[in-house]
């Protein structure tokens, strides 16, 4: 994690690639064998009008067309935030950051953790982020209220019999039909929030910032946005860093399998580390795996633990907490161990805190609509048909056996997009991204990344001509901004000078 997201106790999941809770529409991956349409030029966006919004930040809004093919039609206002360069005399320009999701509200995420970026980057760049269309304060895809989300997250996340499998497949297992709620509230807007439109918005932001070229840092889903922007605007790139790459060659099925394998392997590494150290809070006499399996069984049979804010943490928050803790080795693992030990003894505070970073729940109990945006954006980018019930059941049974901790949880939602959702034109889907004319782009890949496995970074390098891959040998999601000297120094040098690190460089944490 680059920075702490809403928490002071553990750095988890700012560049989020988030699980969908079972009440949400099933998600698809981001590549389709389609031709790529010509880029629509960004409007001549006027300069942004900045206002102080506290703690050294400035905020603004950027007005962009809802439909870029109709620039004179309805517009949407995008929330933008920046932290001006701390050494104006040495300022190099703006660095625009996307923290992932898709759906992370970047303007808020930047405010939460700007201090975790390397000091030299804070000194030399205006750090800028924005809430992409459909997220945060940019006409968010808000479909249900906070109380409904709390009820959804309190529901059983794993089907136990044929009747429950049918309800999970139909999306009726939770307290609300989230797809229908989104359609009722958002209508055609659901088809306008795909990555190609966001790339056009990003180009308009570059113009409004007054930058000749775009300097961009994208984490997780932000690597998709960066790659699509590079395809559409190859001559507008200054420096671009893509960290924790989504695998653009994956199918929906292979991505699900890779995610399940990635989280299961990261969990194995966490448990092995905990077993080897008596100081680990979940050491459990050298057998934390047995203790975890026992705790999992308790949660799956109805165990709940109280949370300080009045909630009861059950099985869904347990699985989300496991995932949240695995995103970051340095701080996430110790906090996860403490949270599991506390849950064994009747306290849900830690697992709720970890789960909240993934669901976007703040201390006031408000959710940031990431789940709705994530599912919708991904189906705009690739509208895979919903799998049959028989295929869903077969996948669920396979994953429950193959991945004993995460398999059933991850496979509880069927692959594909709900047929009720509005569908963007085929040319607006992501398609087969290839870039040949852009300047050299730096890719950072972590060998044991549980959320976006390393194969995605290798694949992305093959798609972006002249790109360079920096490898972090570790088990966590993404690598830059975590205080790992080898990674930070090489990325910093590239951002400052455009000089790529040596070919084949492998860093250790």
End-to-end CA distance of the chain: 13
**Residue 419, both tokens:** 């047929």
Cα–Cα distances in Å, from 416 out to 47, 52, 75, 413?
Answer: 40, 43, 30, 9
Distance CA 268, CA 283 (A): 14
| Cα 207 → chain centroid | 26
- Per the CB < 8 A criterion, the answer to whether 60 and 80 are in contact is yes
Distance CA 240, CA 495 (A): 8
User: Of the residues 257, 477, 488, 492, which is catalytic?
Assistant: 477
- Is 477 a residue of the active site? yes
Work out the burial of residue 397: count CB atoms within 10 Å of its CB; fewer than 13 is exposed, 13-18 middle, 19 or more buried.
Answer: middle
Total length of the chain: 509
Distance CA 477, CA 488 (A): 15
Distance CA 481, CA 461 (A): 21
Distance CA 113, CA 91 (A): 20
| Cα 374 → chain centroid | 8
- Is 449 a residue of the active site? yes
What is the 8-class DSSP label of residue 432? -
DSSP strands (E only) in 220-367: 237-243, 305-306, 312-313
Residue indicated by tokens 């999306």:
171
Distance CA 341, CA 294 (A): 12
User: Of the residues 126, 131, 449, 459, which is catalytic?
Assistant: 449
Which residues carry out catalysis?
Answer: 220, 449, 477
């Amino acid at each position: 994690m680059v920075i702490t997201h809403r928490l002071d106790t553990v750095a988890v999941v700012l560049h989020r690639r988030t699980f969908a809770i079972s009440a949400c529409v099933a998600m698809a991956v981001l590549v389709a064998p389609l031709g790529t349409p010509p880029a629509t030029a960004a409007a001549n966006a006027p300069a942004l009008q900045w206002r102080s919004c506290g703690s050294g930040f400035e905020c603004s809004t950027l007005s962009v067309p809802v439909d870029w093919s109709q620039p004179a039609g309805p517009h949407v206002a995008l929330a933008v935030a920046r932290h001006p360069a701390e050494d104006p005399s040495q300022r190099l320009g703006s660095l625009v950051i996307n923290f992932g999701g898709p759906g992370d509200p970047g303007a808020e995420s930047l405010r939460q953790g700007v201090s975790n970026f390397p000091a030299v980057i804070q000194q030399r760049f205006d750090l800028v982020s924005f809430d992409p269309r459909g997220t945060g304060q940019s006409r968010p895809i808000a479909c249900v209220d906070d109380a409904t989300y709390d009820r959804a997250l309190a529901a059983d996340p794993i089907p136990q019999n044929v009747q429950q499998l049918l309800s999970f497949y139909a999306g009726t297992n939770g307290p609300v039909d989230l797809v229908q709620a989104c359609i009722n509230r958002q209508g055609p807007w659901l088809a306008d929030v795909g990555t190609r439109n966001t790339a056009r918005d990003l180009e308009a932001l570059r113009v409004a910032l007054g930058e000749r070229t775009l300097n961009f840092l994208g984490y997780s889903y932000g690597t998709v946005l960066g790659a699509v922007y590079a395809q559409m605007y190859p001559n507008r790139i200054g420096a671009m860093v893509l960290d924790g790459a989504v695998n653009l060659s994956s199918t929906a099925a292979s991505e699900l399998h890779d995610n399940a394998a990635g989280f299961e392997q990261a969990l194995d590494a966490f448990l092995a580390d905990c077993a080897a150290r008596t100081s680990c809070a979940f050491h459990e006499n050298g057998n934390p795996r047995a203790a975890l399996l026992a705790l999992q069984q308790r949660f799956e049979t109805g165990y709940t633990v109280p949370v300080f804010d009045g909630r009861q943490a059950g099985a869904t928050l347990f699985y989300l907490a496991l995932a949240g803790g695995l995103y970051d080795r340095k701080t996430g693992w110790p906090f996860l161990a403490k949270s599991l030990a506390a849950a064994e003894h009747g306290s849900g505070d830690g697992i709720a805190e970890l789960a909240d970073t993934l669901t976007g729940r703040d201390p006031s109990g408000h959710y940031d609509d990431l789940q709705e945006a994530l599912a919708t954006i991904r189906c705009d980018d690739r509208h895979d048909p919903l799998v049959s019930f028989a295929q869903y059941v077969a996948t669920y049974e396979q994953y429950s056996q193959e991945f004993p901790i995460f398999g059933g949880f991850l496979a509880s939602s069927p692959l594909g997009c709900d047929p009720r959702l509005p569908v963007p034109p085929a040319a607006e889907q992501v398609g087969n991204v290839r870039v040949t004319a852009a300047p050299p782009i730096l890719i950072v890949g972590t060998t044991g990344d549980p959320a976006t496995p390393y194969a995605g970074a290798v694949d992305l390098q093959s798609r972006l001509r002249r790109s360079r891959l920096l490898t972090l040998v570790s088990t966590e999601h993404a690598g830059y901004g975590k205080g790992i000297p080898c990674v930070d120094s090489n990325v910093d040098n590239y951002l400052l000078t455009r000089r790529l690190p040596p070919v084949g460089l492998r860093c250790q944490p």
